[in-house]
A and B are shown apart, each in its own frame.
Chain A
């Protein structure tokens, strides 16, 4: 780890004043479960670390007219354990309560979870976000068994690492971002972007902005479930996840949101899968069709063809689980 300045502001205004003008200069310290390992491995070498944990306003779980408002510093453990989230947003409580390991959930925050960096092993061993060497992609030339099957036209091939983001997007969540010019709100779906150059990041934040809140609209009547294809019971990165939220009209689907995780550089929303479900009763066959539609445009990078099948199964099982059928 390299030397850095450490500051601990107490207001959001102070935070934005201390943030940098370009990426890499300054990093935000929340739970630190990702950042500290990046700094120890010198993948990230900020000159200044802004600890935001002293900003009291960012720790609260609140209810605003039925919407769930999560401060950026609410830990995954608290999200998993909060009765109001378990009741109103069970898919969110389940995803947060099952992420990583108990030790990590105790410190990892929702803001940090959305901003965590990719787990691409080329990025993590110091080859850069886009993992290019001599103009060639190390990912395409090398071992891409865990890499993207969607949104993978390049140059980014990593997968978005959050298991909670697809769930929040399926619920229609928004993020509140604070910068020097005030607060802006955008759908979480639009928050994630696929970087085109090494200098960009995986989200819409500017270097002097940070997430202050996550707002989840009321999910009354929404039937939602997620499914993770993961080899180990705990502390393991999934091959693919799917989060599905269904609004029902009697026994048919009025509208659906289908979001996949760990398949693309961003959480991948599939309008094709949603379309396939609309106006239909959820059966094994319709779930199959929707799952097939979700991966219709997927393509292998050479070593990750099986991920297409795994993503398809994740979508199918999440749909059936959401509809109350057997997963």
Chain B
């Protein structure tokens, strides 16, 4: 709970001139007019172009690499072998060699001239089939297993338990500990690793790793207690991030051991240490810059192998700037997968809808490392549970965090199972969820989570016309059938570590610096809103600089941690600076500093607003000495909290002859504590809902089983939702008492979670049967309607 008694506490509602209002992005005009410079737009003087030789094989050993012909080509300035002879390649498209040349065509010619010989190894890309007869895996965890758990944001207690139970197959040296600390891995995990038994790694031929069974309560008794049991299989495939701006950087050496990198990143302040480790130079020698990012969605926290080799090939080319941006096919193949998740589920309830038991056998892949179990049952904590997960190691490509890692998968499987149960109980699923709403309350329910969900469900129901439009499953006449579905979701979103430097100059100028980045959150606008409300200034009266690691460090934009981090550090810096200014001018106003307030460009007495002086006059009294304040998060006076929720409801029409699903409308009622900017908050939810529609209806990383390669590494067949496909979207943000006093909480990820389940449930409601797997394409809808499978097909 945010602490209102601190001097840093958020201004009361009546004192907010900017916070919570609908304010357009300050960088909006720059972006829509094309003036904003993204990394992709950066052209450095004398810049060379990099091209990458990629493995055509999904699993292979590099036997030899011959770059001699490429090196001799005129215009080629550097060749760097990324993975030389002996390297094992685990997915198609993996980087083998990079060449840098004076233009793109020469670089492409040179890349083609590189001769790589491979020993092709067997590959496996099938994550859809349920693993059978798999025995529990007790082999020690590899470094890759651990990284995979971190990437998938497996809960810390689960990681610790797993390390203790299985042991590890690698040494935990001081360098690794430093790296983990740099990546904000908790001390508890580090200690557990240091104490973990070291065991010999076992080479397993099976792609399946069965996790230990997890139980809660007494599942057998729970199912015995149940009067109705529903069973089903549900799941969603691997999808990719498909960032509008692909990954990449322009790296140059300003001298022998100083690197300057323009890079597309969610993590401006976090990259220097990564470069430092990979290139063996001090982190202080690495300068990272980015003005704007064209999408990351969790896939741009790292320097990445390609970031490192861009710097390495630049060095080979005498330090000249080298640009390597991934081509679209590479981006879709190598730059991130959201793990798949499938589960066979059994869920039981009393006739009145009281949930009694949950059982799931789940599986899924996050690439070569397997993949963790999504949180199930999601949000609704059914008292008795039995869960078993099998991680499937594949050559599909490495997993990366994709907005709210694992939540959309867990939400789909849970909410679909509960929706099917509601149908079996002849109950309205809204009533079933409301009946069990107390199961959503966390153990320490300091902010009445269950009540919030109830409120959100009722608001969403009102906005979508649930009472009027909902009908029992499959009822409805005509070829095109309409249905409604719902889901609820959650996320943490506590603000990250952040530092904000704020300077008030004697001229009245205000300068703010922060090593953060502007993603969907609208970081620039949010910082200026907080500073403006604290100093009594308008947004355009301050000068803000972000996107560079020369400014005070701020966390990576992941886990929806940005808004809490940057608004708190800004608030603390602005309050400290303002109070110093009050101290300077209180005498002139014949008042105590505590009696003053900064409002509308004036410093004035709270009790007698007419006794005032302009901001400029006040600052002039500073003489020659500017005020400098550094605000930190975390810091004095807790300004933020964690834990949000939302309810999503979808209204769809399904053509039962073609199986085509059209979105009519989708609504989301969402809480996120104190809203800094209503307009960008709503935008976050709109964007998240659109992503949810695309993942439900269109997106899939389609792999060919024989080739082991991706069949749709292009935007012809890796399809996203267009403006005509999204229907009407309605957002309701929860505000006021009960929300505002919690302080700002991250919002980007949670609304991406619910849509897949809500739309899938709406489809089931419309056509009367469950379409179990995403994306909900015509063939799947028709197959669900006609389980015999295309009766007119003559195979």
B704 and A138 form a contact (CB under 8 A):
yes
The answer to whether residues A309 and B782 also contact, given A142-B704, A295-B792, A300-B793 and a CB cut-off of 8 A, is yes
**Given contacts A233-B724, A313-B657, is CB(A142)–CB(B706) below 8 Å?**
yes
- Interface hits, B625-682 → A, CB 8 Å: 657-660
A298→B791 CA distance, assembly (Å): 12
Q: A59 near B: Cβ within 8 Å? A: no
Q: Is A60 an interface residue (CB 8 A)?
A: no
Which residues of B have CB within 8 Å of A119? 716-717
- Which residue of the partner chain A has the closest CB to B660? A231
A229-B793 in contact (CB<8A): no
- List residues of chain A with CB within 8 A of the CB of B105: 1, 3
Q: How far is the CA of A237 from the CA of B716 in the complex (A)?
A: 8
**Is B735 an interface residue, CB under 8 A from the partner?**
no
- In the assembled complex, the Cα of A133 lies from the Cα of B56 at a distance in Å of 15
Contact (Cβ within 8 A) A299 B794 = yes
Of the candidates B697, B706, B792, the one whose C-beta lies within 8 Å of that of A141 is: B706
Q: Are the CB atoms of A233 and B704 closer together than 8 Å?
A: no
In the complex, which residue of chain B has the Cβ closest to the Cβ of A301?
B795
With contact pairs A231-B697, A233-B722, A300-B790 given, residues A306 and B706 touching in the complex (Cβ less than 8 Å)? no
User: What is the CA–CA distance of A37 and B795 in the complex, to the nearest angstrom?
Assistant: 34
Check B659 against A306 for contact (C-beta < 8 Å).
Answer: yes
> What residues on B are CB-neighbors of A143 within 8 Å?
702, 704-705, 711
Q: Which residues of A contact B658 (CB under 8 A)?
A: 229, 239, 310, 313
- The answer to whether A308 and B792 touch across the interface, beta carbons within 8 angstroms, is yes
CB neighbours (8 Å) of B783 from chain A are 306
Judged by a CB distance under 8 angstroms, whether B777 is at the interface is: yes
A125-B713, A231-B660, A300-B793 known; A138+B778 contact, CB < 8 A: no
The smallest C-beta distance from B676 to any residue of chain A, in angstroms, reads 34
Q: Is A82 an interface residue (CB 8 A)?
A: no
Flag if A305 contacts B790 (CB, 8 Å): yes
Measured CB to CB, the nearest residue on chain B to A304 is B779
Residue of B nearest to A237 (CB): B716
Any B CB within 8 A of the CB of A145? yes
B790 touches A138 (CB 8 A): no
Q: Is A36 an interface residue when CB atoms closer than 8 A count as contact?
A: no
Interface of B is mostly: loop
B707 within 8 A of A: yes
Is B714 part of the binding interface, using a Cβ–Cβ cutoff of 8 Å?
yes
List A140-190 residues whose CB lies under 8 Å from chain B: 141-143, 145
Bound Cα distance A298, B717 (Å): 24
Beyond A231-B698, A231-B778, A309-B792, whether A121 also contacts B711 by CB under 8 A is yes
B779 engages A145 (CB within 8 Å): yes
Separation of A300 and B793 alpha carbons in the complex (Å): 6
Task: Annotate A226-261 by CB proximity to B: 1 below 8 A, 0 otherwise.
Answer: 000111111111010000000000000000000000
Chain A residues near B499: list those with CB within 8 A. Answer: none
A232 and B705 in contact, given A121-B717, A237-B716 (Cβ under 8 angstroms): no
CB distance from B81 to the nearest CB of A (A): 23
* Contact status B795-A125, CB under 8 Å: no
With an 8 A cutoff between CB atoms, is A117 at the interface?
no
Instruction: Report B-chain residues with C-beta under 8 Å of the C-beta of A280.
Output: none
Contact of A229 among B660, B697, B794 (CB under 8 A): B660
Min C-beta distance of B414 to chain A, whole Å: 27
On whether A236 and B794 interact (CB within 8 A), knowing A143-B711, A313-B658, the answer reads no
Shortest Cβ distance from B192 into chain A, in angstroms? 43
Q: Interface readout for A210-240 with B: 1 if CB under 8 Å, 0 if not?
A: 0000000000000000000111111111010
List 18 A-B residue pairs with CB atoms under 8 Å apart, sorted by A's residue number.
Answer: A1-B108, A2-B108, A121-B717, A138-B707, A143-B702, A229-B658, A229-B660, A231-B660, A231-B697, A232-B698, A232-B724, A233-B722, A233-B724, A234-B724, A298-B794, A305-B790, A306-B659, A306-B783
Q: Residues of B with Cβ closer than 8 Å to A? A: 105, 108-109, 329, 657-660, 697-698, 702, 704-707, 709-714, 716-717, 719, 721-725, 777-779, 782-783, 789-790, 792-795
Seed contacts A231-B778, A232-B698; 4 additional CB < 8 Å A-B pairs: A121-B702, A122-B711, A231-B719, A237-B716
The 10 A-B residue pairs whose C-beta atoms are closest, nearest first, are A233-B724, A305-B790, A305-B793, A306-B779, A300-B793, A121-B711, A313-B657, A306-B782, A142-B704, A300-B795
